[in-house]
Structure 1
Amino acid sequence: MFKFKLRFSIIIFLVFIAFTIIGTLSHEYGHVLVAKFLGYNTHLSYSSMSYKEKGYYEDAEVKEIFSIVDLYHHEINNNLPFKEKKRFNTLKHSLEKKYKLNFKHIFWIALGGPLQTILTSLIGLCILFYRKTSTKHKLKFLDWLAILLACFISREVYNTFGALVSKFINKERFFTGDEFEISRYLELNQWVIPIITALIGACVMYYILFNVVPKAYRFSFIVSGFLGGISGFVFWNNFLGPIVLP
């Protein structure tokens, strides 16, 4: 039952590293596509995206406040006094009035990431159902690809589990993940949407692991996939990502 297939495990480990990076970027592109559809200028970073109204980056006040931030970012981040602090605060208040937040847009843009992740997983599941893939059949390349796509939803499980750990260990109370923002916008307890998506993700992963992945490969797939996912996250967020997409 717990036989470890070395060659298969190495392949799955490397594939999960790659798909963790792909999953992270595709998730952010979900936000980007919605923001662009709503008319915003967007910027994609290695683990996040930002969006501003058109013309924002050409605004003279924006350029000025950016130049101040470049000079005094340490003082600003640590709330220390600095020479241009009065001017900085004036510009900040001016820009806040000029570029007011549209909370409906914030909601739809926040929704874009999780929707992309869930839809990708759904595509994988549809392929598996269409091909009637199960542990009784020898899996082809397309079956394994569909499994990997379906596993995208594991992000929902990991994120919620990570937030729960932070809640109980670090005593955090406010979380900024997409699902938490969606819950707050809908005037629900911030944990409602994360828990729902995590439960859906857990059900999908259970189905994949125990109804699709062959028993002979299951242990190797779980261990290698888990380690590959963590390695991919660390490698992308701490090494490659900041270089490629700062």
Structure 2
Amino acid sequence: MTFYFDKKLFTYLSLTFILMTVIGTISHEYGHYLSAKILGLNSRVNYGMTIIEGNQNNLISPKERFIITLGGPLQTILTGTLGVALLYLSRKSFYQIEKLSLLQWCYIFTSLFWLRQVSNMFTWVLFYFINGKFGVRGDEVKMARYLELPKWSFVLTTALIGVFVLWTVVFKFIPKKIRITFIISGLVGGVSGYILWLELFGKIIMP
């Protein structure tokens, strides 16, 4: 089997994954922001967090806090599900092609909003191996605790769906010739996007 790696496509896809990491993070936070606004709370979004302004934070009920927390994952999941639906509706256009159109790539990257759920599960487990205990700060964990469910319930369930979506995208919609290029660019672009935005430049650009 011949190994094929497209350097030009790798560059384009890596940059796109970096950009989508930023877009995904900010749009997720605006899900929290919109939920807070619906509840009549003043809030703002920075590079990686939604902040309830003033002393309102002390006046929020547990139910309201749950709704605000839900807003972020709900936005991400609905966006990813829209992408999956668009892929399904246009699936015939993907058959036996070697090069994807810009519109097809848009559908694919929209569906990959589900990757946030896979990433959450990975970092949650990694946190356990580093600290000897599971984290309690993630949105899905907070939601499970509010509903008195096992804290892994939302994290694991949505991650499994995310893995299924990723498997389907890679093996059903990405042409075989460029799958390796796509996977490597996803790893490089996703990690680079996280570091560049959440660790280095996000706090400067969007404090």
Give the TM-score of the pair, scaled to structure 1. 0.79
1:135 CA displacement: 4.8
The aligned runs of 1:9-158 (5 Å cut-off) are: 9-52=10-53, 57=54, 99-132=58-91, 133-137=93-97, 138-158=99-119
Q: Which amino acid aligns with 1:37?
A: I
Q: Which amino acid aligns with 1:121?
A: G
Aligned length: 204
- Write out per-residue CA displacement over residues 54-75 of structure 1, whole angstroms, 9 at most, x where no aligned residue: xxx3xxxx6xxxxxxxxxxxxx
- Structure 1 residue aligned with 2:153: 192
Q: Which has the larger radius of gyration?
A: 1
Q: Structure 2: where are the runs of 5+ without partners? A: none
CA contact (8 A) 1:127 1:143 kept: no
- Structure 1 residue aligned with 2:166: 205
- Write out per-residue CA displacement over residues 155-198 of structure 1, whole angstroms, 9 at most, x where no aligned residue: 11011111101112321334210000111111011111100000
CA contact (8 A) 2:124 2:135 kept: no
Secondary structure at 1:40 match in 2: coil
Separation of aligned partners in 1, 2:95 and 2:59:
54
CA contact (8 A) 2:124 2:134 kept: no
Separation of aligned partners in 2, 1:141 and 1:239:
30
Give the TM-score of the pair, scaled to structure 2. 0.93
Q: Which amino acid aligns with 1:227?
A: V
The aligned runs of 1:145-184 (5 Å cut-off) are: 145-184=106-145
Q: Structure 1: where are the runs of 5+ without partners? A: 63-94
CA contact (8 A) 2:26 2:47 kept: yes
> What's the Cα RMSD here?
1.6
Q: Percent identity?
A: 40
- Write out per-residue CA displacement over residues 116-139 of structure 1, whole angstroms, 9 at most, x where no aligned residue: 111111111111112124352352
